[in-house]
Amino acid sequence: MTLARLSLTDFRNHAAAELVAAPGLVALHGDNGVGKTNILEAISLLAPGRGLRRAPLSDMVRDGAAGGFAVFAEVQPDAALPPVALGTGIEPAHPKRRIVRINGAAAAATALGDWLAILWLTPAMDRLFVETAGNRRRFLDRLVLALDPRHAQHGNRYEAAMRARGKLLTDLAGADRQWLASLEAQLAEHGAAIDAARQRALAALSAELAGQPDAPFARPLLTLVDAGGAPRDAPWTAEALRELFAERRRIDAAAGRATAGPHRDDLAAIHAASGRGAARCSTGEQKAMLLSLVLAHSDCVARARAQRPVLLLDEVAAHLDPMRRAALYERLAGQGGQAWLTGTEAALFEDMPGPVTRFRIAGGRIAPG
């Protein structure tokens, strides 16, 4: 997949911007604060979910604008096929409702995943392995979504059923037992689908990583674990989840939340070369493992969907030594697809193998170069 054209209207600091890019590497350079990451964030909204910053929609509207924003892209699935038009944004009258259009027709945000897979790595993710389990679950689910666009629908329905069950459990004695059982059946159905998709994605990713060397990027060993840190050896079945939720009604009512299930699982990683847990590794090793993981996952997506995901790599080059930077560029250029990279200096991208689309961002303007 290639983003052939990207247009932004009143998005963050960009009043009106248009970028035309070719397949291959896309380099965005400019001083801090000029809006490079904002462009990557806009692209990330062309996939299901809340984007790479997970920001409220209202925060994305340019200061001084009327209250809405728009992101539009022409996506080229194949040189022999016509481009697909993807658009998203909000209107001033409905600032909390995201609008999605595909080829001009209204669509659900989850439908974006059928057309475009997007992966990203940002400086905010550098400490993923020492942050909360929730952050790692969201990261894992983003990887799964690129392989299985239906994953978002199962996640949305699971969360909706979990919220509805939580409301019933606030008055367990007076709760409608039939309705409660129905909600738990929905939780079990979608929870089992979520878990199965995660297990498949991790198996494919682990196989891809196993065939890669430990250098120049650190190779992680990945495991799905439960809330207590024990490996999840067997997948959840719908029947097992129904029994689990029914057995834990009183526990969950007292806790005010569902205390067990796929929404409590975590992603564990070990540095393959040293055997240390990722949380105990240096910041540089953690970043290298993340980069290795994202690159391997790109290969998984290409294998599964017969098309490369669009990669968004924010300020990655600045934190790599020249040898690893050159290796990254060579790998990105060699694998095909399209990767968007940001950096403060044009010199960071001078040695990129072609083809390269270059943009300079300064003074609120985006220009080739």
Over the chain (369 residues), the average pLDDT of each successive run of 10 is 94 96 95 96 95 95 93 87 94 93 95 93 93 95 94 95 96 92 97 97 95 87 93 91 96 95 96 95 91 94 92 92 92 92 94 93 89
CA 267/CA 83 separation, integer angstroms: 36
Of 363, 35, 239, the closest CA to residue 43 belongs to: 35
Beta bridge partners of 20: 5
What is the pLDDT, as a whole number, of residue 139?
Answer: 95
Beta bridge partners of 368: 359
What is the pLDDT, as a whole number, of residue 215?
Answer: 81
Beta bridge partners of 86: 73, 102
User: Is 17 strand, coil or helix?
Assistant: strand
Task: Catalogue the E-assigned strands of 125-204.
Answer: none
The dihedral through the CA atoms of 153, 129, 330, 33 has a sign that is: positive
What is the pLDDT, as a whole number, of residue 186?
Answer: 97
Homologous superfamily in CATH for domain 1-116+310-369: P-loop containing nucleotide triphosphate hydrolases (3.40.50.300)
What is the pLDDT, as a whole number, of residue 346?
Answer: 93
Going from N- to C-terminal start, the domains of the chain cover: 1-116+310-369, 118-306
Backbone angles phi, psi at 233, to 5 degrees: -75, -35
Question: 89 and 99 in contact (C-beta within 8 Å)?
Answer: yes
What is the pLDDT, as a whole number, of residue 249?
Answer: 96
Fold of 118-306: Glutathione S-transferase Yfyf (Class Pi); Chain A, domain 2 (1.20.1050)
Question: 27 and 341 in contact (C-beta within 8 Å)?
Answer: yes
CA 145/CA 270 separation, integer angstroms: 23
What is the pLDDT, as a whole number, of residue 212?
Answer: 86
